[in-house]
Amino acid sequence: MLFGGGPGGYKILSKLGSGSAGSVYKAQKKGKIVALKIPRILGPTDLKRLEREAAALSNISNPNVAKIEEADLEGPVPFIATKFIDGQNLAEDVKDNGIYEGRYLALLADKLAFALHDIHAANIIHRDIKPENVIIADWGPVLVDFGIAMNPEETHLTRTGLVMGTPGYIAPELLEGAREGAESDWWSLCAVLAFAALGRSPFAGEGTGNILEREEKGETDFSGLSPSLAPLFSSSLDPDPSRRLPVKDLIGAIWQNV
């Protein structure tokens, strides 16, 4: 899409990102700046699901969730406009300002968990929680880019060549063919918190295959993290959902280390 005129009367200002789910642009209409998502839709089923999720998202009122400003999924170019959050994403923030420790890590965990709780209460699965989808605004972290354009055939990151998700932040059960759900979102959130505390993924390695294998085996590297927190983080990222430390217990432990 060329910069300038866009769907819904929006003026495209710049491109923020793109992927198999669609593209996101910084756009403006009547003086309001938004993040304009133009999803990739493969059929009527995708469109119906998008309509339901867009309606549900519009009812979420949480300062740590990017709110939908406008959506048109029936026009010639379907789009979803969300509030534009001015700030660095978590990956950029950690690179420029260092890791999160003590009270800063605890507050980050609290606010992201608060956001994810409200998202799930609206019967929405985020599907793509990663450092790049957490924007650090003046008032705290904000979850953005809900993957709502994701079609059912593109929800898994597999070894067969179909990629949807980010190695190190997609729950290991999804690699085995499980469908995404609230549990997989919570795992991803714990992986993001681990990144904030370490400055890297605890599954970091050379190549996508190595990272995925470490996820599936639960092989984490928390060297450099507090000895009291490292085993708890590792437990929260267990590949077996039935053995995982509940997120509330991990956050409680983080607060105890403040």
φ, ψ for residue 171, nearest 5 deg: -60, 140
CA dihedral 52, 247, 67, 121 (to 10 degrees): 40
Strands 22-29 and 11-19: antiparallel
As annotated, the active-site residues are: 128
Instruction: Decide: helix, strand or coil at residue 110.
Output: helix
Looking at residue 65, the DSSP 8-state letter turns out to be B
Return d(Cα 211, Cα 215) in angstroms, integer.
6
Strands 134-137 and 140-143: antiparallel
